[in-house]
Amino acid sequence: MNHFGSRFFCTIVSLFLISCENEAFLINLDDAPLQSQVASTTSFQFKTYQVPPTLGGLHSIYAGRNEQFDASRTLLEFESHTILNWANFEIDSGYFQLTLDSTFSGNIPEISTITMGYFRRDSNYVELGSNYTNVDWISDDYPRLSSKFSSDTTGLMHLRFPIDSALVKTLGDTAEGSWLYLLELPEESDFILKFYSSDSPIHGPILRTFMHKATDDSDTSATVVDSTRVFNGQSDVTLFIPPNLENSLFDSNYSYIGVAAGLVTVVKADLTSMNIPKKASVGRAKLILTMDEAHSSAGALDSLFIQAYAMEDTITNWSWGEELNEDIYDHHTASIAKSSSAAPIGSILKLDVTDLLQSLISEREVEDKTIVNLGFKLKMINSGSIFDYAAIRSDSSALGQPLLEIYYEIP
């Protein structure tokens, strides 16, 4: 009986304590409710600059010229074909082959004027590097192969560079270094072709060689054994030369972003004027920009996917149209704070920059009551064509002015 009374008393006390704790927890919530707030600004600074485009890793090789871009030279590297010099076969002939992308819809010249030069590989050749800088090491004095277009039974169109047995053996000799190949189009070209690249999972560049088994001339009963050997493209890089920002194509009243054009835009909103409290937690932030279709160059604006990155340092030079040999603002980009990519709907681009704003707010000094006034870097990460570029309205007029909206909570 005494044990039962003790257990009953302990149970009552425990329930009372739990009740008190729950009541206290509820009172604390009531004492410190979260307050949802919204702040916005249309006050911005914009800076567009241009850097050499870096285009390695593409699934396509673009070859040619148009009014805006020069893509008339592409360097290629193939798997080692040293085996051709010691295989127990006689070399007959061969050819290099590039295959037109099946999505290419442009005109194909009836007679090919495209050539392929070959020379020893230089240590300056580094794929994924800047695409048209540091190319002085390429000499003009090297042999060139002619080409012709040829279709196969599947409907694919190929560009082939025939080579004879002597040249196949020469290219198999790597005692003085491996070989580089340079795809070239003449200056008068007015078209751009699209081939599968060495990074493509299908139909990449190849070197195909034809051979036969060496036999004893005295053995008339011997059967000739034919063989082929295929060497795949290992890397390629097109030496893109984009139009510079002084070109009449571009208007300094707009900001631009583009891949092959090497165009990047940095944006800074006036965060200080938004008076976001120091204890704020950003629930959502949207950067809203208006694209100008007339000053853009794209098949469709909704095919342009754009991403924003947080800047880790203040930019002091906001002059429009800097042409740089390298992106001097690249080290300012925070690697972990970036938006998801988005494409315009109609002409309106909305980027979720929540993580970026939280990153910027976190940069405030402990004793400072204002937000460090940093910005975003805008880059195009995907598009219908790498030659596409977008024009962003960056004026303060009511129609199409930029907008930053921040939804935040404070205790």
- Tell me the β-bridge partners of 227: 211
Q: Tens of pLDDT along 184-216?
A: 999 889 999 999 999 899 999 999 999 887 666
Distance CA 248, CA 258 (A): 16
> Which of 209, 238, 267 delimits the end of a domain?
238
User: 238, 135 in Cβ contact below 8 A?
Assistant: no
29 is a domain residue: no
Number of domains into which the chain is organized? 2
Distance CA 185, CA 191 (A): 10
207 is a domain residue: yes
Q: Mark whether 126 and 256 lie in a shared domain.
A: no
5 is a domain residue: no
3 is a domain residue: no
- Count CB atoms within 10 A of the CB of residue 29: 9
11 is a domain residue: no
User: 131, 68 in Cβ contact below 8 A?
Assistant: no
Q: Mark whether 166 and 258 lie in a shared domain.
A: no
Q: Tell me the pTM.
A: 0.76
User: 257, 149 in Cβ contact below 8 A?
Assistant: no
Distance CA 134, CA 130 (A): 8
Q: Mark whether 361 and 254 lie in a shared domain.
A: yes
pLDDT tens digit at each of 411 positions of the chain: 445 455 544 544 444 444 444 333 333 334 445 578 899 999 999 999 998 887 666 788 999 998 889 999 999 999 988 887 766 778 889 999 999 999 888 889 989 999 999 999 887 776 545 566 667 788 889 999 999 999 999 999 999 999 999 999 899 888 888 899 999 999 889 999 999 999 899 999 999 999 887 666 555 555 555 788 999 999 888 888 889 898 888 999 999 999 889 999 999 888 888 888 777 888 999 999 999 999 999 989 999 999 998 876 667 788 899 998 888 877 666 556 788 899 999 999 999 999 888 776 666 555 554 555 568 899 998 888 888 999 999 876 667 789 999 999 887
**Domain extent for 122:** 60-238
Q: Mark whether 175 and 261 lie in a shared domain.
A: no
User: 115, 146 in Cβ contact below 8 A?
Assistant: yes
Which pLDDT score, from 0 to 100, does residue 385 have? Answer: 84
Strands 206-213 and 148-151: unpaired
> Which of 181, 211, 238 delimits the end of a domain?
238
> Which of 238, 266, 283 delimits the end of a domain?
238
Q: Mark whether 200 and 133 lie in a shared domain.
A: yes
Q: Mark whether 396 and 260 lie in a shared domain.
A: yes
Q: Mark whether 327 and 377 lie in a shared domain.
A: yes
Spell out the residues 6+ positions from residue 411 whose beta carbon is closer than 8 angstroms to its own.
Answer: 32, 34, 35, 279
Q: What is the CATH number of the domain that holds 256?
A: 2.60.120
